[in-house]
Each structure stands twice: as structure tokens, then as C-alpha cells.
Chain A
Amino acid sequence: MRATQSASEPADHGPGEILLSARDVKMHFPMRGGLFRTVKGHVKAVDGVSLRVERGETLAVVGESGCGKSTLARLLLGLLEPSAGKVFFMGHDLTTQKLREVREQRRHLQMVFQDPMSSLDPRMTIKNIVSEPLVVHHKPGRRPRNVAVVAILVLLFGALAFALSILAFAVPKVPLFFGFLSTDVVFPSLIGVAFSAVTVVSGVGLWREGTWAWELATIIFAMSLVVSVIFFSPVQIGVTALFLASLVSVRKQFVSAEEISKRVVELLEVVGLKKEHLNRFPHEFSGGQRQRINIARALALNPDVIILDEPTSALDVSVQAQILNLLMELQRNLGLTYLFITHDLSVVYHIADRVAVMYAGKIVELGATEEIFRNPLHPYTKALISAAPVADPSVKADRIVLEGEVPSPVHPPPGCRFHPRCWLAFEPCSKLEPELFDAGNGHRFACFATARDRGLWRQTGTNTAIDRPVPV
């Protein structure tokens, strides 16, 4: 017998607009093994989670490693497709949308990743990293005429060169490409074929206004110029120089450096970095600064919601304070909404409006921050709160030390997932899965023992069946 979490819940939020919501979302990763890669089992990372985030609030998702919070973040962002359930963002169902529309949504929903060390591409400058969202979503207007002209010229030139190099296979005794290697002519023709093919490709790319095409074409013609200078053929020098000049003249269309640069500098200043940092590489920055870069990038497209996956876990205490202050300031000034994933309860207490506690892929408690901290109703929440170390030696806390380990997501315990470690566990806990009981004021919890004590649940005859023989 199972009681699942209901898909449509009573109101557990204020009167604000709901920006992001998940309805009974499940993520089961198949495990394949064996010769034919048959599916052996599922890693049930997220197993039926529903929540709602309204505009302007900070919702914290708390849990330990292995509880599925990072997977949940990716599901909400649309990076993963859920095995079941739906994710809604601003009214749009992310699970049924096409890729192009999802990309559009990305402008309003961004994510700050966990590890500042590895979430920045070590080979890109800060400027490239922060401007990437802008570059990716850049929508050009009508193709300007000079660009079209250059594109067509390059295309034609490439096609001509291509034809000639093919011909060279058939025509013997074409002047040698290299001075030393004098035994064959086919090889230089191959090189000519390759180069001209690349030129054609770049011409096509120029037509479609890709910056890469501009860079590629410039490289090709520059190389050609160098070769023609070495071998001193005036005609070739002239032609390639002309092409290079025309490419340089259309530079602005492709490398719209100016306005993007300005915006990047703006963003860096908002997060507390300086203009000089534009051209530096990530490895030159400290953890806190890297996290600021991540935040700057997340802000680039003026999103409405930002999902933060453990943004301060890898940082020192004082740096954490700076980042938290920054986040709160940004929320005030820009009207952002945060979904904050963490395992640090003191951060949660300080920054979150509402809290959701996750354990083994399910939400076990949900409610306003103060309510949850003052009056935790689920035993796991109680254990978490008591286990959190307090920086005050006079508080000799009576720590609840849990036995056992976090359950494996492949074979979760039957019934309530917490029951093997729970000191309140009684009969139904190992057989039935608790649903989220409502304690009022938006405070909900999933525990039979507490529900029974509060009169919200009763044990009836049908739900106490014992089907396992007990040894004598």
C-alpha cells in the first residue's frame, strides 16, 4: 500500500505570482549493465517532488549529499528531462517544449553552479565567460549589404580555388609548391583542395553571420598572404591583400565588441569586480571572486529567477559573508527570485523565506523558515538542526547523532525512507510512504509519528498488515 504525494496541493505559498513550479517530478536514471546494456535498475535520484517558487522570494532546498537536490536543480532548469512529472516556468511547460523555446526561457532562468574552481572554462578570459550569454542570445537584425558582398566574394573565390586545385590533379607539371620536395605534384594540390574547401565553408558562415567564420576567413587569407610573400607572386599578394582589407572593414559587424564589452564591465562592477579583470583567466582569481564571476554571468540576461546550487559551500566564512550580502543586495535592487540549494542551515536561516527539506529524493518538510527552525516537525529536520555545529562553546548542544548512512538511491528502504534511522519509527513507517501532512500556515511534513501525535493521521486495520515472518 502506498500513499503518494498529491499532485495538486493546498496553497503553501503567499499571494505572489508563481514563477517556477514542479509537479510530482521524478528522475530515475536507468542503470545499464551486461553485454546488451539491459536496464538493471534505476537510480531514483528524485522521486516525486512538488514545489512552487513565487516571485521575489528565496526558497531554500536543504539536504545532505545524495538526497537529490542538485538533480532537482537541473530538472527545474530544464537541463534534464524528468522521467515523470512536470516542470513549469512562467506558465510554460518545460517538459514538452521544443529546444528553441527552451533556449528562449533560459534568458529568464539562470543558474549559479557550485564549484567555483571548475565552473569557469579555464581557457576563456573573464570577458568571454561573462559575455557568453549575450553572444549566444544575440539576435542580429537584417544582414547589412557589405557583409553580404564580402560573403559572396569569399564564397566565389573559394569555389574557384577549389575547382583549380581539382584540376591540378589532372594537369601535370604545375609549378611546385615546395622547393625541396620535387617528386610529386599531387600533394600540393591536396593542400589547395583543403584550403579552398575551408574558404568555401567560411564564406557560407559569413553569409550566416557567424563570428567564427570571420575569424576563419581572416586566418586563411592571412596565411595565404604569408605564403604568397615567401614565394613572391605579386598577383597572389594583391588579391589576398584585397580580401583581407575587405574582411577588416566588415569587422564591426561580426565582432560587436563595443557594446558587449560595456555590458560586461557593467556586470563586473555590479558584482564588485573591476574593469582590469576583463582579460584575465579564471585561475588568477580566488574562490570568492570566481563565484562573483559566476553571478555576473548569471545576471547577464536580466533573469527573473536564479537557481543557486551550493554557491558558498566551497568558500571561507568571511568570503561567504560577502557573497551572501551581494546576493541579498542584488535581490533587493533587481527584484530577483532565488532557489537556493545548500546543506548549511545557518545560511538558510539567514537568507531564506521558505525552506524545503529533502531526504533520499523526497521532500520531507516544507514551510516558512522561522516556523521550521522554531518548530521542526519531521525527525530528520530535528536531527539536522541539532547536528549543525554552533560557534559558541557555551552551547553544549544535545546532539541527536543518527545511526546509519544515507540510503542508496537504487534500493531505497520500503515505506518512509527515513525509518531505518528514525527513533520515532513505529509499525507503518516501514510499510507505507507518508504523504505531506498540513500543519497549517504552509508548514507541511511527511511523518506518520508526528501526524499521529497531532491528530492528523490514524492507524486503521488495513494498513498494519505484516507480511514477513519474524524468527522465533
Chain B
Amino acid sequence: MLRIEGLKTYFHTYEGTVKALEGIHLEVPAGETVGLVGETGCGKSVTALSVLRLIPSPPGLIEGGRVFLDEPEDIWTLRNGYDALASERLKSQGWVGSLTSARVQEALRPEIEGLRARLAESKSGEEKGELRRRLQAATSEFDILQKPEDQMRGIRGDKISMIFQEPMTALNPVFTVGEQIAETLILHRKPALCADVLKSLDRQIQARQTGTKARRTTAARALDRLLAGREPATLETKERERYAQLAALKPTDEVCTNCYHKAPRLWDYCLACGVRLAFDPWSWFRGRIMRMERSLYERMLRDPEDQLVDFVGTIWFLRRLVRKRLRDEGIRWAVDMLSEVKISDPERIAGQYPFELSGGMRQRSMIAMMIACNPKLLIADEPTTALDVTVEAQILKLMKELQTRTKMAILLITHDLGIVAEVCDKVGVMYAGSIAEFGTTEQVFHRTMHPYTNGLMESIPRFKGSASEERKKELYIIKGAVPNLLHPPPGCRFHPRCPRALDVCKEVVPTLTQMEPGHLVACHNPVPRVAALTPEVAA
């Protein structure tokens, strides 16, 4: 799903150039959770922001590399061939460094032009298809780093979503949760929303034509009215349904007096029967207004950039004609999303502001917002660091469930190895801007090869499965400190702190090599770690 190849991001600051990312290679397959672990300053967040191209541009710049999103397997195989060819050519020209799409396209120009020419001439559909695939492979079509900004905007939120560490700062405090989710939906799913708007509009127009009137009332009162003194057993079948419906609600919930369906204050109309429930100052003209809205939304459905719709949107007192229903529909979808993230009473939460919610709720709302458009990739940047352990358990369980249901890929960025061990299928360990080790959690935790990963594992205090004499003993520490990325050490960036450093480590940057299938390490002197953990879970 996501393939990062050789990503390089530098920040050009007053004090010099901070080489934040120095050639990252990472893969997140669809349907899997990949963890990106590292300490503060190693570049994990920068990686996420680089993928989304949200790096603040005056100091920061993505200097190289490619990020492939949703690249089909066959194109990838083709691309490997083209890449090899391109890098050979570039090397012979004396050029070193990571590949960028522009460079590759430069190097492969004859091939690309040839393919284009043949595509134009070709007659058979099959041949056209094959040529198109080759062309995509040669031009690194799926590299999102080379796409223009407006296409990126289409991708953000829609194909790739990101949840952040501090839900309070990531959520806009002046909009309710429902409104914020609706905003994402309106941005990316306008046609579907328009269709829904038209459907409910039709229902409401019909309700108005029949002249039905209804109000909001509490479920308790509605129950009384329905029963009218009778026993529940004596009700007719139709009324029995309604009784069951009402009995399932809380006594203080509000319902429509016409159809006894739940009617929260988020919307002016009843969702089921379409009767207006709120006071309407324009009641005389409502019919005409609704017909106008209907025609406008039809136009919006046919052409999202319709000129008339845009024009109406600019006149401040007519704006609501093309906005309000869209928003209401968006909030309805938002309520569905909120219930998907296991929030009980989602209608109430949708109408609340972020500061009114607890940490766990906020994080769930943010997750709801980010999965609203069913992204193919979810990047979670320390999603549970600010939360308590018990809430963290809930959120992680939720994310796993969502993944099994929607098959989305998750890139989980964290510094907590415990979460990684529990939730992730694969792990990448980052140190000072490059990947030190990558593999399945089993491989990385039990057969650690990189000395840094080893050091991290050893320095965690454990309580499950460790003998009691371990307590109060000195913890293992990795000597030294994280390097200053302004002047990183030459060669392997970990060598000053590495207990296994060799002379070659000081000069040559190690590349990621595969040690066992699927387990890659960037080290000149890796260590096979004997698994010493026998699980002894506390009673």
C-alpha cells in the first residue's frame, strides 16, 4: 500500500542544515499494521509529515526519494527493472544519492518517449494496456511526491489520513465534533452527500405536501401517549413495533411525535418521516425554498463545480441554500461514524465541542474524522501517548477492529515498544533519521539484530515475566546521547554509542540488508539475540 524509498528530508535553519531523514525505506502492506519506533528526535513524525507533504517549506525540504501509494504489484515488478536501468545510467554519469522521480524520468527519457510513441500508434486494447502499465512503471506514476498540490489535497483525508498525538490541539475548538467530521466529508464525498440530501429532501417535500405536523417530545411522554392507559400486552401489532422502538430509548431522549423515531436536536427535520420539527419562520415560503434547494442540489450532483451553485454560495444571505443541508447530511454520516468508533450516544457527542469531551472521547472523535472517508492508509502519530493505560487499551482494540473490517493499512508511530508488540504486525526501528531494523514483530523482538534495538529492549523495565531479583537492579543504558542532526556522525550514525562498533562503521553508512526473509538490518556488525523472555503473566 505504502512504499517509501530513500526518503530524504532536510531542514535548512539558521544554525545549519538539519538532516532529519537520511534515506528511509519502509513498506506498509494493505491490511497490516506497521509500527515505526524510535526516540524523540529520530525523525518518525517527520517521516509521517513528509509522506503527507506537510513539511513547513521555508526551513524544510524533501530533498529526495519517492513515496508510492497504492501501487499495483505488477507495476512494481516492472518498475524494479526500470529503476535498475535508471540507477545504472545515473551512476555512470557520476551521480550519487537517492532516486527522485524527476531524475528517473530524466534518465529513462528515451524509453518513456518510445513507450508514448508506441502507445499512440497502437491499435489493440491489450497492447495498449500493457504499454500503459510500462509507462506508469517508468514514470513512477504512483509516486505522490511528484504530484501537484491540488491532487495531494485530494489524497489527504481521503486516501491517507493522519491522527495526531494531542487530540485537543488537533481538533478545532470552535466547531462541534459533528461539524468537523462533516467538513471532511463535504470535502471528499460531495456527490454521495448530494445524493443523500436529495433523497431526504424528497421525503421532506412529500411530508410537507401531506400537511403532517409533528413536534419533539420525550420518549417517556410519547410512551404514555401511545399506551393511553392500556397495558403493553393489549397493543395491536403496528403499535407493538412502535412500543418496542420507544422502550429501547432512554426516557429523556427526544422523539418525533409523528413516527416516534429518535429526533436529536442536531437536525430540524425528522430523519424517518421528513416532517419538520423545529420552528420555521419561513413556513409560508418553505415549499418554494425547498424546491429551489432541490434544483440547486441536483445541479451540484451533476457538476460539483457548477457555476450557479458557486454564485449562490457567495451571496451571504443565500449561502445556506447550498450549505445547510449538505452539512446536516454530513453530520448524519458523522453520527454513523461515531457509532462505528464505539461511542455510545453518538448524537449527543456529535453536538459537543472538543473541550467538553474526555481524552478518550476526543481521540475517538478524531479517529472517526479520519476514517470517515475510508482511507487506504491511516498514519497514527503517537495516538495513545496522552491517554491513560485503560483508555489506550480501548483505542488500540478499536483500531484493530477497524482494520479487520476495512482492510486499511496502519502506520503506527510510537516510542512505546509495548504497544508495538501488541498491535503491530511489522516493526521498523528508526534511529537518527534512518531505519536501523525492519521485520515482523516476532523477528525484531525475539531475534534482534541491530545493537540499538537491542539496547532499547534491554533498557525497558519489565514486570511481566521477569524474575523478582531483577527489581531494584541497575537498568541497562545505551551510553551517550542522541546525535545532533546538524552534525551527525559520519558513517553509521549510531557508531559512537554502539558496543559493537567496528572501524568500518565510522566511515561507511550501512545499508538495509536482508538477514532472514523479511528481516532487514542496517548494520555492519549485527547481533543475533537469544530470546530470554518466557511469559509469566501475573495472576
Contacts and interface: CB of A to CB of B under 8 A. Distances in A.
- A–B contact, 8 Å CB criterion (strictly below): yes
Contacts of A351: 461, 471-472
Interface string B470-511: 111011111001100000000000000000000000000000
Interface stretch (B287-295, B327-335, B388-396): B388-396
Interface in B388-426: 388-394, 397, 415-422
B442 A394 contact: yes
A402 B390 contact: yes
B229 interface: no
Contact of B533 (A347, A394, A401, A405): A394
B388 A376 contact: no
A392 B445 contact: yes
A390 interface: yes
Contact of A324 (B40, B393, B461, B533): B461
B422 A397 contact: yes
A248 to B, nearest CB: 38
A343 B474 contact: no
A286 interface: yes
B358 A405 contact: yes
A316 interface: yes
B445 A345 contact: no
A254 interface: no
A405 B391 contact: yes
A392 B472 contact: no
B537 A397 contact: yes
Interface residues of A, number: 48
Contact of B389 (A287, A324, A350, A384): A384
Nearest to B414: A389
A328 B475 CA distance: 10
Given A389-B416, A393-B422, A405-B358, A376 B390 contact: no
B534 to A, nearest CB: 9
B473 to A, nearest CB: 8
Contacts of B462: 346, 349-350, 390-391
B460 interface: yes
B422 A286 contact: no
A345 to B, nearest CB: 6
Interface stretch (B140-148, B257-265, B451-459): B451-459
A395 interface: yes
A401 B394 contact: yes
B421 A350 contact: no
A375 interface: yes
B389 A395 contact: no
Contacts of A391: 417-418, 420-421, 445, 457, 460, 462
Chain B: interface size category = 35 or more
Contact of B359 (A65, A319, A328, A402): A65
A406 B388 contact: yes
B388 A343 contact: yes
B459 A376 contact: no
Contacts of B359: 65
B475 A321 contact: yes
B422 A389 contact: yes
B176 interface: no
A319 B358 CA distance: 30
Contacts of B535: 392, 394-395
Contacts of A345: 389, 463
B286 to A, nearest CB: 40
A389 B418 contact: yes
Nearest to A391: B417
Interface stretch (A21-29, A118-126, A366-374): A366-374
Contact of B418 (A321, A324, A388): A388
Among B361, B390, B446, the most chain A Cβ lie within 10 Å of the Cβ of: B390
Contacts of B478: 318
A164 interface: no
Contact of B472 (A328, A376, A395): A328
Contacts of A241: none
B393 A346 contact: no
A390 B477 contact: no
B118 to A, nearest CB: 50
A343 B416 CA distance: 14
A116 to B, nearest CB: 12
Interface of A: 64-65, 286-288, 316-322, 324-325, 328-329, 343, 345-351, 369-370, 373-376, 383-385, 387-395, 397, 399, 401-402, 405-406
| 8 closest residue pairs by CB, A with B | A389-B418, A349-B463, A350-B461, A64-B388, A321-B459, A391-B417, A316-B39, A321-B475
Given A346-B460, A383-B390, A389-B419, 12 more contacts: A317-B456, A321-B460, A321-B476, A346-B463, A348-B463, A376-B539, A388-B464, A390-B418, A393-B441, A394-B446, A399-B393, A399-B397
30 contacts: A317-B417, A318-B39, A318-B456, A324-B475, A325-B477, A345-B463, A346-B463, A351-B461, A351-B471, A374-B539, A376-B539, A389-B389, A389-B421, A390-B418, A391-B421, A391-B460, A391-B462, A392-B421, A392-B465, A392-B533, A393-B421, A394-B445, A399-B397, A401-B390, A401-B394, A402-B393, A402-B394, A405-B358, A405-B360, A406-B388
